[in-house]
Amino acid sequence: MRRYVAIWFRHLKTDWMVRRQPELKGIPFVMAAPAHGRMMIKAANAAAQAKGIDVGMVVADCRAIFPSLQVFDDKPGLTEKLLNALAEWCLRYTPVVAVEQPDVLILEVSGCPHLWGGEQPYLKDIIAKLGGFGYDVRVAIADTIGTAWAVSHYGKVSPIVERCGQLEALLPLPPAALRLDATILERLKKLGLYQIQDFIKMPRKALRRRFGDAILTRLDQALGQEYEAISPVHPVEPCQERLPSLEPIRTATGIEIALRQLLEKLCQRLAKEEKGLRKCVFKCYRIDGIVKQIEIGTNRPSRNVTHLFKLFELKIATIEPALGIEVFTIEAPVVEDISAVQDALWNFTEGGNGTAIGELLDRIAGKLGMNSIHRYLPDEHYWPERSVKLATSLTEKPQTSWRTDLPRPIHLLPTPEIIEVTVPMPDYPPMLFRYKGEVHNVSKADGPERIEQEWWLQHGLYRDYYSIEDTQGARYWLFRAGSYEHGDPEWFIHGFFA
Amino acid sequence: MQAAKQDIIQQLQKDVLSMQRLKKISGQSLNTGLWEVEKAFPDQTFPLGAVHEFISHTKETAAATNGFMAGLISQLVKKGTTVWVSNKRTIFPPALHVFGIEPERVIFIDLWRQKDVLWAIEEALKCEAVSAVVGELSELSFTESRRLQLAVEQSRVTGFIHRYNPKSENITACISRWKIKPLASEANEIPGMGFPRWDVQLLKVRNGKPGTWQIEWSGGQFRHIARQVVTITEIQKRKAG
């Protein structure tokens, strides 16, 4: 049989503010954020609530009620951060702690309370410890998450719900204790159903018809007839290593030695966890309190000390040791799994030298920037400029095969350049053309190959491509934009054949 | 006596080559259709694991040079990754397929500064996992080319340096110097353009004999063409004159 504890932080954010600024204790204050051009209250402390100020009101209205009200800016994402931190702290009570937005922690405590000498001392300890931090909490323990939640919020008798005593505990509570939507609560209120006992005995069919499935699910969850899953928090252990030095380090050699030692430690750990790093930060804490840091990134997850060291080596010169460095740390903020499958994907070379190439590209990207490296895959477009696309990763395989049935030049000009031509007849290849002041007499020609505009991408004239060889033997790719039907079309040179 | 002398000379030649770190890569039969060209090299083998230099002056010859280089890469180094470092790249990847290179196996590194290009070429040449490195740039000093040669001696990667429009054709430490010019393709019965055909000039080669050949790329390999004494245009000129 499972037991759950629900911890409700009644004034999570304001309690946190008081913890940071103790002088605020007992003073009515709120935290507000702009919404629809007004400042809406997101959190109010107990003193403010006593004055009738509550969440969801407008600051201007509240100032009318209580002029000396203090208003602080609400920080977005603060609740999640606080709750996650508190959840990790609560791991001392049980290994399974989950966060339930906006202000509740759910602890699965099966088999834990007896270590504290029973459920009552257990709950007392939780309240006392969290209360010591300044958090105003209400707790309840029950067989189900739903009941624990309900009793922690609305329970008036005892926070401990006996085994299988969910029904009795729930009966006198208001429907809001079931974690229902505001619309359903409103409807229940209109019908005069102020307590759970008013409707719990009603036929399920009638409840479903009037209030939907949600109410039945919540009831079942609270009574333990339906299992409710929680997603417990897993504290992440940062990939970090630290190296204090006996005497301040001032030389590049010293920094290199420290870096190598740290990298070895880090890579040993990564090897144990079967991971590789994608990003790595090396920090040097100087005597004068300034932190110098260098950062590297890799194309593929790596835990190769020599390779990572080489990447860092390019940047070591930027560290200014000044009076000396006393502590070095290395941190891998982004790590990824290295799996055997991933190595197999990169089988360009028979020997599976993908890692070596990846490391080469890391060095190039580290020094000259990632956007200097390009790899191309075929794209399904006829328009020459769009017939290739950039590969997003080094392991990406072509989805379609390369087209080889049509002539394509080995050199393609980034933008077609205008030329002057002499054409014997419309739709015939030119007799001669002038490009950059030089006249080329055409001896052989292929074409035309008509390529239409891809109208869903851009509008314009179609192109009639001709492969041309001049009397010198040089080969060109020319095209005419549009036809002779509508005036004199322009001719362009677009590439050179080998 | 004569035969013994010949043997000694051959042995000495081999020793010289090995001292120059131009080891023949054993067990490699290159059916490239380049046998005429290969005769020009020491040991009758196209030297891999060395840096070759190509020079072009016009856009047309640059395209022809890149085509010839692509053909060489596909014939000589077969499978593997090619790194193509350039400062002003105009290569259109799908066309490499014609010359037997799978375009997705080419990693292009596009840079602006000459210094960066050289650094990238050197790094790529040092990486043993790469099978060929192409470097496109205009200037290459002797010292710089020496660095590349040293990198290659360690890693046995083949390097191709394509110098487009250099200020001067200075001496470099590269093993060979080539110039490729496009030639009029042969019009068979079918009208239109034929297979790409080049005038291949080997201007310099260490321990070999320079020469000129006419080579065509057809059916996925090089084909040697019997030397035409005079080109068509010259005949026409003579008639006119």
What pLDDT, in 10s, does the model give residues B21-62? 655 544 354 556 677 788 888 777 788 888 999 999 999 999
Q: What is the C-alpha separation between A454 and B160, in angstroms, rounded?
A: 38
Of B193, B135, B44, B146, the C-alpha closest to A409 is B193
Cα dihedral A380, A381, A387, A391 sign: negative
| Cα separation of the two ends of chain B | 58
- Closest residue to B63, CB basis, from A355, A387, A496: A496
Whether chain A has a CB inside 8 Å of the CB on B152: the answer is no
Domain assignment present for A161? no
Whether chain B has a CB inside 8 Å of the CB on A395: the answer is no
Same domain, yes or no, for A305 and A419?
Answer: no
Task: Read off the pLDDT band of A343 (50, 70, 90).
Answer: very low
Judging contacts by C-beta atoms under 8 Å, the chain B residues touching residue A394 are 107
Q: What is the C-alpha separation between A217 and A144, in angstroms, rounded?
A: 13
- Closest approach of B212 to chain A, Cα-based (Å): 17
Hey, are the CB atoms on A409 and B95 less than 8 Å from each other? yes
Hey, are the CB atoms on A404 and B98 less than 8 Å from each other? yes
Same domain, yes or no, for A317 and A443?
Answer: no
Are A366 and A311 spatial neighbours (Cβ–Cβ below 8 Å)? yes
Of A2, A335, A284, the C-alpha closest to A161 is A2
Are B152 and B176 spatial neighbours (Cβ–Cβ below 8 Å)? no
Q: What is the C-alpha separation between B190 and B180, in angstroms, rounded?
A: 26
Q: Which chain B residue is nearest to residue A413, measuring alpha carbons?
A: B90
Question: What is the pLDDT at residue A345?
Answer: 35
Judging contacts by C-beta atoms under 8 Å, the chain A residues touching residue B155 are none
Are A150 and A172 spatial neighbours (Cβ–Cβ below 8 Å)? no
Question: What is the pLDDT at residue A347?
Answer: 39
Task: Read off the pLDDT band of A348 (50, 70, 90).
Answer: very low
Cα R_g (chain B), whole angstroms: 19
Under 8 Å CB-to-CB from A61, ≥6 apart: which residues?
Answer: none
* Mean pLDDT across B50-77: 90
What CA–CA distances, in Å, run from A166 to A3, A126, A139? 12, 22, 15
Same domain, yes or no, for A8 and A147?
Answer: yes
Whether chain B has a CB inside 8 Å of the CB on A414: the answer is yes
Task: Read off the pLDDT band of B229 (50, 70, 90).
Answer: very low
Cα dihedral A180, A185, A191, A193 sign: positive
Question: What is the pLDDT at residue A354?
Answer: 65
Hey, are the CB atoms on A411 and B94 less than 8 Å from each other? no
Computed over every residue of chain B, the mean pLDDT equals: 83
The Cβ of residue A76 has, within 10 Å, a number of other Cβ atoms equal to: 9
- Closest residue to A497, CB basis, from B96, B119, B196: B196
Hey, are the CB atoms on A374 and B110 less than 8 Å from each other? yes
Whether chain B has a CB inside 8 Å of the CB on A409: the answer is yes
Instruction: Give the β-pairing of B158-164 and B130-137.
Output: parallel
Q: A446-484 pLDDT, tens per residue?
A: 878 899 888 888 888 889 999 999 888 899 999 998 888
**Residues in a beta bridge with B177:** B53, B204
Domain assignment present for A395? no
Q: In a 3-state reduction of DSSP, which class is residue A297?
A: strand
* Mean pLDDT across A185-193: 88
Whether chain A has a CB inside 8 Å of the CB on B92: the answer is yes
How many independent structural domains does chain A possess? 3
- Closest approach of B16 to chain A, Cα-based (Å): 32
Computed over every residue of chain A, the mean pLDDT equals: 85
Partner A, chain B 5-64, Cβ-Cβ below 8 Å = 59-60, 62-64
Statement: residue A209 has pLDDT above 50: yes
> What global pTM score does this model have?
0.58
Domain assignment present for A180? no
| Domain limits for position A82 | 4-151
Domain boundary among A102, A126, A151: A151
Domain assignment present for A404? no
Q: Which two tokens stand for residue A319?
A: 């560290």
* Mean pLDDT across A177-204: 87
The alpha carbon of residue A318 and the mean position of all alpha carbons in its chain are separated, in whole angstroms, by 31
Statement: residue B227 has pLDDT above 80: no
Judging contacts by C-beta atoms under 8 Å, the chain A residues touching residue B96 are 410
Task: Read off the pLDDT band of B201 (50, 70, 90).
Answer: very high
Question: What is the pLDDT at residue A231?
Answer: 83
Hey, are the CB atoms on A408 and B94 less than 8 Å from each other? yes
Question: What is the pLDDT at residue B11?
Answer: 86
Under 8 Å CB-to-CB from A320, ≥6 apart: which residues?
Answer: A292
> Among A34-43, A363-372, B85-94, B153-162, which is the least confidently predicted range?
A363-372
Q: Which two tokens stand for residue B140?
A: 């290459």
Q: What is the CATH number of domain B47-184+194-240?
A: 3.40.50.300
- Closest approach of A397 to chain B, Cα-based (Å): 8
Domain assignment present for A210? no
Q: A60-71 pLDDT, tens per residue?
A: 888 888 888 888
What CA–CA distances, in Å, run from A24 to A17, A19, B14? 8, 9, 91
Judging contacts by C-beta atoms under 8 Å, the chain B residues touching residue A359 are 127
What count of Cα atoms within 13 Å lies in the side-chain half-sphere of residue A175? 22
Residue A48's H or E segment, with its range, is helix A46-50
Task: Read off the pLDDT band of B188 (50, 70, 90).
Answer: low
Under 8 Å CB-to-CB from A490, ≥6 apart: which residues?
Answer: A418, A480, A481, A482
Q: What is the C-alpha separation between B2 and A489, in angstroms, rounded?
A: 74
Judging contacts by C-beta atoms under 8 Å, the chain A residues touching residue B119 are 367-368
Hey, are the CB atoms on A373 and B131 less than 8 Å from each other? no
Partner B, chain A 323-362, Cβ-Cβ below 8 Å = 348-351, 353-357, 359-361
Q: Secondary structure of chain B in the HEC alphabet?
A: CHHHHHHHHHHHHHHHHHHCCCCCCCCCCCCCCCHHHHCCCHHHCCCCCCEEEEEECCHHHHHHHHHHHHHHHHHHCCCCEEEEEECCCCECHHHHHHHCCCHHHEEEEECCCHHHHHHHHHHHHHCCCEEEEEEEECCCCHHHHHHHHHHHHHHCCEEEEEEECCCCCCCCCCCEEEEEEEECCCCCCCCCCCCCEEEEEEEEECCCCCEEEEEEEECCEEEEECCCCCCHHHHHHHHHC
Q: What is the C-alpha separation between B114 and A411, in angstroms, rounded?
A: 21
Statement: residue A321 has pLDDT above 80: yes
Question: What is the pLDDT at residue B121?
Answer: 94
The CATH number of the domain where A331 resides is what? 3.30.1490.100
Partner B, chain A 436-475, Cβ-Cβ below 8 Å = 443-446, 467-469, 471-475
Cα dihedral A8, A12, A18, A19 sign: positive
Partner B, chain A 479-498, Cβ-Cβ below 8 Å = 495-498
Domain assignment present for A45? yes
Statement: residue A383 has pLDDT above 80: yes
- Closest approach of A473 to chain B, Cα-based (Å): 4
What CA–CA distances, in Å, run from B84 to A384, A405, B135, B164? 21, 25, 6, 15
Mutation to test the A interface, candidates B60, B162, B189, most A Cβ within 10 Å: B60
Query: What residue segments make up the domains of chain B, in order of their start?
Result: 47-184+194-240
* Mean pLDDT across B127-135: 89
Whether chain A has a CB inside 8 Å of the CB on B84: the answer is no
Whether chain A has a CB inside 8 Å of the CB on B130: the answer is yes
**Residues in a beta bridge with A469:** A444, A475
Hey, are the CB atoms on B109 and A374 less than 8 Å from each other? yes
Statement: residue B90 has pLDDT above 90: no
Hey, are the CB atoms on B182 and A472 less than 8 Å from each other? yes
Q: Which two tokens stand for residue A253?
A: 């050699």
Question: What is the pLDDT at residue A491?
Answer: 92
Cis, peptide link before residue A102, omega less than 30° from 0 = yes
> Among A283-297, A391-405, B100-114, B177-191, which is the least confidently predicted range?
A391-405
Domain assignment present for A66? yes
Mutation to test the A interface, candidates B190, B193, B195, B225, most A Cβ within 10 Å: B193
Mutation to test the A interface, candidates B83, B85, B107, B122, most A Cβ within 10 Å: B107
Domain assignment present for A468? yes
Partner A, chain B 179-238, Cβ-Cβ below 8 Å = 181-185, 187, 191-194, 196-198, 217, 233
* Mean pLDDT across A317-325: 87
- Closest residue to B192, CB basis, from A348, A445, A476: A445
Q: A432-444 pLDDT, tens per residue?
A: 999 988 999 998 8
Domain boundary among A124, A151, A178: A151
Statement: residue B181 has pLDDT above 90: yes
Q: Which chain B residue is nearest to residue A402, measuring alpha carbons?
A: B94
Hey, are the CB atoms on B183 and A363 less than 8 Å from each other? no
Hey, are the CB atoms on A444 and B185 less than 8 Å from each other? yes
* Mean pLDDT across A267-290: 87
**Residues in a beta bridge with A421:** A433
Domain boundary among A135, A151, A167: A151
Hey, are the CB atoms on B131 and A349 less than 8 Å from each other? yes
Beta strands in A60-180 (DSSP E): 70-73, 96-100, 104-108, 137-142
Hey, are the CB atoms on B67 and A497 less than 8 Å from each other? yes
Percentage of chain A beyond pLDDT 70 is 97
Of B235, B210, B233, B213, the C-alpha closest to B223 is B213
Question: What is the pLDDT at residue B20?
Answer: 67
* Mean pLDDT across A19-31: 84
Question: What is the pLDDT at residue A351?
Answer: 44
- Closest approach of A449 to chain B, Cα-based (Å): 13
